[in-house]
Amino acid sequence: MELFFWYCIKHTIADLALQRYFVTGSVKQFYFNPRAQIHYLHHSLLTFVISAFFVDFQIALMLGIIDHIAHWNIDFSKTYIKKKYNIIESDREFWLLQTIDQSLHITTYYFLFLLVATA
């Protein structure tokens, strides 16, 4: 369970602190946007580093890659929907979308934790 805790802490650092400085504006609606990839790379690298304290190198690398791909697709989907339906922060739908987004991220970390716990 400690690993899941660190994944959640990592998420807040990458999604709130680092994203503010490295990913500005709405760039995530473009699937291969390099600036958005920097954000996903923050997540995958931090997942790799944290995982490396609990599992061997290859497994930690695999967990980082899974996190990268999951985060990429979750954020892209959220931003795509937001842009397609012109959802803004003051809309009720924005907060529903944010809730779904964050729930999917936390579910990803629980899945990663289960991969390690059941291996």
Task: Kindly state the average pLDDT of the residues 58-65.
Answer: 98
Other beta carbons within 10 angstroms of residue 15's beta carbon come to 19
CA dihedral 93→95→99→101, nearest 10 degrees, is: 70
| Domain count across the chain | 1
Its domain, for residue 28, covers 2-117
Number of helical H runs and strand E runs in the chain: 5, 0
CB 36 within 8 A of CB 27: yes
CA distance 41 to 90: 29
- Reported confidence tier of residue 52, pLDDT bands at 50, 70, 90: very high
Which pLDDT score is estimated for 9? Answer: 98
pLDDT digits (tens, 9 = 90+) for 75-104: 999 999 999 999 999 999 999 999 999 999
- What is this structure's pTM? 0.92
